[in-house]
């Protein structure tokens, strides 16, 4: 997956603060989404990701300036912290309702990572669209609004909405890798009103 981060050579030229800021901007939303998939609690997910970045900052001298290593480090912290919370909540529930907790399966965690990365790539691609396509795509594809709702909100015709969505899909096909575009198209097929 293409990151908006600078290359490894350029990372070495940056201060630790600049590297931290780049990783925070690039990974905060996708890590929150990843944690949310495990916890189903956005405030907890945000807290865990903030704690992960605090750990990253506290150990910045020990961590190599390799984007893959840093990405793996952050995902690992978020995964472990999220699973610890799930385990803790399950123990509490066990005693509360007197039944044994089931663990989150590793394959489920991997699926959550993949979903987070795919959504991040889709969000990045949408940000590169022209303003009108971008706004209509966000409203339709990400917020789940129907064509007539978008038209009413923006004060434009339904045909304009449809045209902009078609244009957006053509541009996204060029910007996304084939697998990601196929997943996006598959998700949109589930919603006949998109």
Question: Can you give the pLDDT at residue 157?
Answer: 93
CA distances to 55, 72, 102, 169 from 86, in Å: 20, 21, 10, 38
Domains and CATH numbers, the chain: 8-97 (1.10.1740), 128-189 (1.10.10)
What are the phi and psi torsion angles at 101 (to 5°)? -80, 150
Count the neighbouring beta carbons within 10 Å of the beta carbon of residue 154.
15
The reported pTM is: 0.50
Cα separation, 194 vs 185, in Å, equals 10
- In tens digits, the chain (194 residues) has pLDDT values of 334 454 555 666 667 778 778 888 888 999 999 999 988 889 999 999 999 988 888 877 776 777 788 888 889 999 999 999 888 888 777 766 654 445 556 777 787 887 788 788 888 888 888 998 889 988 887 788 899 999 999 999 999 999 998 898 888 888 888 887 787 777 665 544 44
Cα separation, 114 vs 67, in Å, equals 17
Residue 38: how many CA atoms within 13 Å on its side-chain side?
A: 36
């Amino acid at each position: 997956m293409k990151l908006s981060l600078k290359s490894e050579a350029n990372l070495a030229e940056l201060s630790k603060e600049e590297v931290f800021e780049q990783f925070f901007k690039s990974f905060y939303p996708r890590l929150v989404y990843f944690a949310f998939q495990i916890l189903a609690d956005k405030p907890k997910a945000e807290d865990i990701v903030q704690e992960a970045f605090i750990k990253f900052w506290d150990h910045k001298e020990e961590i190599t300036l390799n984007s893959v290593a840093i990405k793996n480090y952050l995902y690992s912290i978020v995964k472990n912290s999220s699973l610890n919370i799930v385990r803790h909540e399950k123990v509490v529930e066990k005693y509360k309702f007197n039944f044994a907790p089931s663990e989150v399966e590793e394959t489920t965690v991997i699926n959550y990572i993949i979903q987070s990365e795919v959504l991040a790539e889709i969000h990045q691609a949408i940000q590169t669209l022209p303003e009108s396509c971008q706004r209509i795509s966000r409203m339709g594809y990400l917020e789940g609004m129907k064509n007539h709702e978008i038209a009413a909100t923006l004060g434009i015709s339904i045909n304009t909405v449809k045209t902009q969505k078609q244009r957006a899909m053509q541009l996204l096909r060029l910007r996304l890798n084939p697998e990601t575009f196929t997943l996006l198209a598959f998700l949109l097929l589930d919603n006949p009103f998109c």
